A and B are shown apart, each in its own frame.
Chain A
Amino acid sequence: MIITTTWYLVLAAALFSIGVSGVLIRRNALVMFMSIELMLNSVNLTFVAVSKDLGLVEGQVAALFVMVVAAAEVTVGLAIIVAVFRRKASANIDELAELKG
């Protein structure tokens, strides 16, 4: 069997769904964050797979940018979680409902 691009895309979709389920299921803020990272990774995989398929290099450039932004986001996000934890001593995301309307 030849590995076509479709295989990679299916794998990426599967990883993405797992990531979504992680975001919805877990209560720990850190694990939620990690699930988001997984989603970003799956998107990166899609980019690179399609870039190989089309013969362009822009897909890989896009993947690089996603990585950069993800890194920045992780930094700031974790800093926020730490700051919140300092106040509430809990990483349970259900307790952070102060924006309730």
Chain B
Amino acid sequence: MTELLWLLVALPLAGALVNVLFGKKIGEPIAGWIAFGLVVIPWAIALGPTIGFLTGSAVPETIYLFSWIPIVGADVAILWDPLSALLTMIVTGVGALIHLYSIGYMHGDERYARFFAYLNLFIASMLILVLASNYAVMFIGWELVGLSSYLLISFWFTKPSAAAAGKKAFVVNRIGDWGFLVALMIIFASFGTFDFGVIFVSAPSVLTVGTATAITLLLFLGATGKSAQIPLYIWLPDAMEGPTPVSALIHAATMVTAGVFMMARSAVLFELAPVSGAVVATVGGATALLAAVIAVTQMDIKKVLAYSTISQLGYMVMGIGVGAYTAGVFHLTTHAFFKALLFLGAGSVIHGMANQQDMRKMGGLRKFMPITFVTMTVGWLAISGIFPFSGFWSKDEVLAAVFQRGGLWLILWFVGIVAALLTAFYMTRLYVLTFYGEPRWDADVNPKESSWTMTAPLVVLALAATVFGAFNTPARLAFEHFLAPSFALIGESETLSLSLLITLAAFTMLVAIGGIIWSWRTYAGDELPAEDSSFWRRGLDGFGVDDFYGKYIVAPGRTMSQWFSDTADPKGIDGVSHGIAGGVRSAGEGLKTLQSGQVRSYAGGIAVAGVLLIVALVVFGGGF
């Protein structure tokens, strides 16, 4: 079955092409169903081999497709191991559900088919990234994913804020990409190839700690761009301008996890640079906390979820930083399910509320949108980390791994606990404001449940968010075993005693429950709290980070480019080209006098030249 794996990329690409070229003719909803089918089939193709990994009967393999740049060791080949299999299932599975959801959500949009083309392009790009067997192909996927994100964020480009958001996402990502590229350069300088197999096997002997630290820090810079960590997270809240399925797919479940995936893939390199690990974990923890605080203050339902994503990504990054790669990837998986669920549910709410996104205008929706309500409940409990939903297991595994490192890492663990408290708080706030209390919407809004194409994915995701936690309980650790072949080159880490794990988990859950109760009591009453102190106002603004960047980074850049366009370009570059033209013109004017039109002067010129030639031939050619 693994010979068919190249179809994983080819089919969505074909779908994108079909929808771009013939989308208008195909029309809705068939264009959507085509796109959906071309994501389901890859999911089915990948299912068999993945189960093979699960039962332990399959081994990781590299499937060679074709040669690309032999001189740098960049072949186009698929690295099929448990890690890429897992991400493939997530991308195609959640992706297929979101395609299904979009068939209903994007109904009536005039660029319907183009949307599905972009979605398919995204799936293909993400799969290129995930299945790559060398850094060069992974980078191609990385860039393509950034492109798809840009296209999808600014899908409604006639809205200036959407266009600006797309641009912001792309530019901020670019800064991260610069880090990635420099890391690739150092990797190539050290290894002479980009191939994972060669690099990861020879890394311990080839790299010094300094080089490894440089590489991993730069790789992390790339990850901060894609996975929205400090300092490059600012694009993610703005990216909510895109349609909600886009937010669910790209900015919750898949693209933002690309950074985490890339770091997990490069685990061998991170193991060689403990300093980078510390930096990564600290940044992750800080991001988790900061984003959670900002999320508390937001009014827009999607913005809350956006900051929540940043915060949860911080958890994943923190897990990677402390060397708990499987824990980070596990949280990535559970997060994909429950965050996609939350976003799709929010989309259902927005759809039913006639595009209203402000939570102050919602309330009491549980009676009007029952399926959405039930599934969102599952999502809420999962993200808050309540037993037995999946989020509980994954978040606790990350926090346990941090706790285990002891010493100064306990500060990070505490930060994680506070962030968990805040997560429970703001998610409950969202939940209560949306579904409980008295209706606060305008008179002409008529909320009702969404169609089956939108609610069916919600149900499936809710099931996954409920059940998936069982995959990796401390008792079974099936997930770790599943992923073990991918991390074979890293040593086993010692596990904590079961009793300590249970204690930590219980403590975390108590904290979460405490946050829920606190939030419920604040928001479920008859009157909403005012939320207008300076804390709330500044938080709404993201604590001024955007303004800071704008004043100290964007503005100087704009001044510089203004100078270039007003001064350097007209005077310098145009001056040179005009000067050359002027010089040629005056030379021509000078030479014009030779053309007198007088035949005899021409003949005279020929005669003189002939004489000179003869003289030259005689003098330099050998004389008489």
Give the contact stretch, choosing among A42-50, A54-62, A67-75, A91-99: A91-99
Interface residue? A23 (CB, 8 A)? yes
The 6 A-B residue pairs with the shortest CB-CB distance, nearest first, are: A101-B595, A100-B597, A97-B597, A99-B597, A101-B592, A23-B603
Q: Write the residues of chain B forming the contact surface with A, with a CB cutoff of 8 angstroms.
A: 592, 594-600, 603-604, 607
Residues of B contacting A66 in the complex (Cβ-Cβ under 8 angstroms): none
Not counting A93-B599, A101-B592, a sample of 20 additional A-B residue pairs whose C-beta atoms are within 8 angstroms of each other reads: A23-B607, A24-B600, A24-B604, A24-B607, A32-B599, A94-B598, A94-B600, A96-B597, A96-B599, A97-B596, A97-B597, A97-B598, A98-B597, A99-B595, A99-B597, A100-B595, A100-B597, A101-B594, A101-B595, A101-B596
Q: In the complex, what distance in Å separates the CA atom of A35 from the CA atom of B604?
A: 14
Number of A-B contacts defined by CB within 8 Å: 31
Q: In the complex, what distance in Å separates the CA atom of A96 from the CA atom of B604?
A: 16
User: What residue of chain B has the Cβ atom nearest to residue A98's Cβ?
Assistant: B597
Interface residue? A20 (CB, 8 A)? yes
Q: Which of A23, A98, A99, A100 contacts B600 (CB 8 A)?
A: A23
* Residue among A20, A100, A101 with max Cβ neighbours from chain B (10 Å): A101
| Smallest CB separation, B599 vs chain A (Å) | 5
Q: In the complex, what distance in Å separates the CA atom of A20 from the CA atom of B607?
A: 7
Q: In the complex, what distance in Å separates the CA atom of A94 from the CA atom of B603?
A: 12
Residues of A contacting B604 in the complex (Cβ-Cβ under 8 angstroms): 24
| Smallest CB separation, B614 vs chain A (Å) | 10
| Smallest CB separation, A15 vs chain B (Å) | 15
| Smallest CB separation, A49 vs chain B (Å) | 18
Q: In the complex, what distance in Å separates the CA atom of A98 from the CA atom of B607?
A: 22
Q: Which of A23, A32, A101 contacts B597 (CB 8 A)?
A: A101
User: What residue of chain B has the Cβ atom nearest to residue A97's Cβ?
Assistant: B597
Query: What are 22 A-B contacts with C-beta separation under 8 Å?
Result: A20-B607, A24-B603, A24-B604, A24-B607, A27-B600, A32-B600, A93-B599, A94-B600, A96-B597, A96-B599, A97-B596, A97-B597, A97-B598, A98-B597, A99-B597, A100-B595, A100-B596, A100-B597, A101-B592, A101-B594, A101-B596, A101-B597
| Smallest CB separation, B53 vs chain A (Å) | 82
* Residue among B592, B595, B598, B604 with max Cβ neighbours from chain A (10 Å): B598
Q: Mark A16-52, 1 if CB is under 8 A from B, else 0.
A: 0000100110010000100000000000000000000
Residues of B contacting A98 in the complex (Cβ-Cβ under 8 angstroms): 597
Residues of A contacting B600 in the complex (Cβ-Cβ under 8 angstroms): 23-24, 27, 32, 93-94
| Smallest CB separation, B592 vs chain A (Å) | 5
Q: Write the residues of chain A forming the contact surface with B, with a CB cutoff of 8 angstroms.
A: 20, 23-24, 27, 32, 93-94, 96-101
Residues of A contacting B607 in the complex (Cβ-Cβ under 8 angstroms): 20, 23-24
Residues of A contacting B594 in the complex (Cβ-Cβ under 8 angstroms): 101
User: What residue of chain A has the Cβ atom nearest to residue B601's Cβ?
Assistant: A24
Q: In the complex, what distance in Å separates the CA atom of A3 from the CA atom of B573?
A: 71
Q: In the complex, what distance in Å separates the CA atom of A94 from the CA atom of B598?
A: 6
| Smallest CB separation, B478 vs chain A (Å) | 90
Q: In the complex, what distance in Å separates the CA atom of A24 from the CA atom of B607?
A: 9
Q: In the complex, what distance in Å separates the CA atom of A46 from the CA atom of B599?
A: 27
User: What residue of chain B has the Cβ atom nearest to residue A94's Cβ?
Assistant: B598
Residues of A contacting B596 in the complex (Cβ-Cβ under 8 angstroms): 97, 100-101
Residues of B contacting A100 in the complex (Cβ-Cβ under 8 angstroms): 595-597
Residues of B contacting A93 in the complex (Cβ-Cβ under 8 angstroms): 599-600
Residues of B contacting A101 in the complex (Cβ-Cβ under 8 angstroms): 592, 594-597
| Smallest CB separation, B606 vs chain A (Å) | 9
User: What residue of chain A has the Cβ atom nearest to residue B603's Cβ?
Assistant: A23
| Smallest CB separation, B610 vs chain A (Å) | 8
Q: In the complex, what distance in Å separates the CA atom of A97 from the CA atom of B599?
A: 7
Q: In the complex, what distance in Å separates the CA atom of A23 from the CA atom of B597?
A: 16
| Smallest CB separation, B439 vs chain A (Å) | 88
Q: In the complex, what distance in Å separates the CA atom of A20 from the CA atom of B595?
A: 21
Residues of A contacting B595 in the complex (Cβ-Cβ under 8 angstroms): 99-101
User: What residue of chain A has the Cβ atom nearest to residue B600's Cβ?
Assistant: A24
Q: In the complex, what distance in Å separates the CA atom of A58 from the CA atom of B604?
A: 32
Residues of B contacting A24 in the complex (Cβ-Cβ under 8 angstroms): 600, 603-604, 607
Q: In the complex, what distance in Å separates the CA atom of A58 from the CA atom of B594?
A: 40
Residues of A contacting B603 in the complex (Cβ-Cβ under 8 angstroms): 23-24
Q: In the complex, what distance in Å separates the CA atom of A99 from the CA atom of B592?
A: 11
Residues of A contacting B598 in the complex (Cβ-Cβ under 8 angstroms): 94, 97
Q: In the complex, what distance in Å separates the CA atom of A100 from the CA atom of B592?
A: 9
| Smallest CB separation, B385 vs chain A (Å) | 88
| Smallest CB separation, B556 vs chain A (Å) | 53
| Smallest CB separation, A90 vs chain B (Å) | 14
Q: In the complex, what distance in Å separates the CA atom of A93 from the CA atom of B599?
A: 7
Residues of B contacting A97 in the complex (Cβ-Cβ under 8 angstroms): 596-598
| Smallest CB separation, B302 vs chain A (Å) | 72
User: What residue of chain A has the Cβ atom nearest to residue B594's Cβ?
Assistant: A101
Q: In the complex, what distance in Å separates the CA atom of A27 from the CA atom of B594?
A: 20
Q: In the complex, what distance in Å separates the CA atom of A96 from the CA atom of B592?
A: 18
Residues of B contacting A94 in the complex (Cβ-Cβ under 8 angstroms): 598, 600
Q: In the complex, what distance in Å separates the CA atom of A58 from the CA atom of B340?
A: 94
